[in-house]
C-alpha cells in the first residue's frame, strides 16, 4: 500500500504543478526561489539516497561510471529535444522531467523494496518538491506559447502516468535483480538528475530569482539534510 501511495503522491505533483502554473498568480521571483529550494533538496537526496548507497553495493568504478552515463544520456536527449526536435516554451522542462524522471522513478520503485518509511520519505519528498515548481514553470511557458490548457494538462498527465508506470515497474519487476544491477540503475538515475539540475533547474531559478536563488538552494540542502537525518 505504501508503494502506491508514494507513487501516486509523486506523480500527482506534476498535475498539481501544472495547475499552479496555469491558475495561480505567484510572482516569477517566488517561483524561482521555490525551484532553487527544490533543486537544493534534490541534490542531497540524489547523493545520499541514490548514489552513495549504491557505491557500497557495487564496485566503485561501475557505480560512478553509471552516474556519468546517466548524465551523458540526459544531456544528449535534452539537446535533441531542444535543438533538433524544436522543444521550447516549456518543452525543455517537460523533457527534463521525463528524461530524468523515468530512471529516477525506477529507482524510487526499487527504493520502496524493503526500505524504511523515513528513507522513502526523504527521496520521494525531494522528488515531489522538485516536480511541483518544474511543472509549474513548464506549464506557464506552454501557456505563453499559446497552447490550450486542455492540451497542457494532457501532456503533463501523460508524463505523470509514464513516471508512475516506471516506479511500479521498478518495484515489481526489479525486486529479484542482483543488488549490483540495482545500484547501477540508481547511479544512472542520479547522474540524470544531476544533469537536469545543472541544465534546467538552476538556470531557471537564477533567471527568475537572480542571486536569491543561491540562498534558496542552501535552504533546500539544509531541509533535505534534516529530513535525511530523521531517516537514518
pLDDT at 61: 94
Angle at 219 between CA 216 and CA 225, to 5 degrees: 145
Checking if the pLDDT of 91 tops 70, the result is no
Q: Is the dihedral of CA 179, 195, 157, 120 positive or negative?
A: positive
pLDDT band (50, 70, 90) for residue 206: very high
pTM of structure: 0.80
Q: pLDDT tens-digit profile of 118-155?
A: 666 666 776 777 777 777 877 877 777 777 888 888 88
Which three cell numbers mark 43?
A: 541534490
Q: What is the mean pLDDT of the chain?
A: 80
pLDDT at 96: 62
Report the percentage of the chain scoring pLDDT > 70. Answer: 80
pLDDT at 120: 66
Residue 153, CA atoms < 13 Å, CB-side half-sphere: 10
- How far is residue 40 from each of residues 107, 130, 133, 162, 193, measured CA to CA in Å? 19, 9, 13, 25, 12
Amino acid at each position: 500500500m505504501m508503494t502506491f501511495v508514494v507513487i501516486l503522491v509523486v506523480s500527482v505533483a506534476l498535475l498539481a504543478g501544472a495547475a499552479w502554473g496555469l491558475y495561480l498568480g505567484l510572482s516569477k521571483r517566488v517561483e524561482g526561489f521555490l525551484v532553487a529550494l527544490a533543486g537544493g533538496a534534490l541534490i542531497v537526496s540524489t547523493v545520499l539516497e541514490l548514489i552513495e548507497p549504491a557505491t557500497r553495493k557495487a564496485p566503485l568504478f561501475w557505480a560512478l561510471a553509471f552516474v556519468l552515463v546517466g548524465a551523458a544520456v540526459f544531456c544528449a536527449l535534452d539537446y535533441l529535444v531542444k535543438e533538433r526536435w524544436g522543444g521550447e516554451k516549456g518543452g525543455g522542462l517537460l523533457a527534463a522531467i521525463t528524461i530524468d524522471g523515468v530512471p529516477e522513478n525506477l529507482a524510487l520503485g526499487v527504493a520502496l523494496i524493503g526500505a524504511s518509511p523515513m528513507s522513502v520519505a526523504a527521496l520521494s519528498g525531494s522528488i515531489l518538491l522538485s516536480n511541483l515548481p518544474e511543472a509549474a514553470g513548464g506549464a506557464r511557458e506552454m501557456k505563453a506559447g499559446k497552447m490550450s490548457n486542455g492540451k497542457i494538462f494532457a501532456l503533463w498527465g501523460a508524463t505523470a502516468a509514464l513516471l508512475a508506470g516506471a516506479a511500479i515497474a521498478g518495484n515489481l519487476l526489479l525486486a529479484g535483480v542482483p543488488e549490483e544491477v540495482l545500484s547501477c540503475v540508481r547511479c544512472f538515475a542520479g547522474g540524470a538528475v544531476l544533469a537536469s539540475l545543472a541544465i534546467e533547474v538552476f538556470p531557471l531559478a537564477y533567471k527568475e530569482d537572480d542571486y536569491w536563488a543561491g540562498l534558496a538552494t542552501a535552504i533546500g540542502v539544509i531541509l533535505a539534510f534534516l529530513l535525511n537525518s530523521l531517516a537514518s
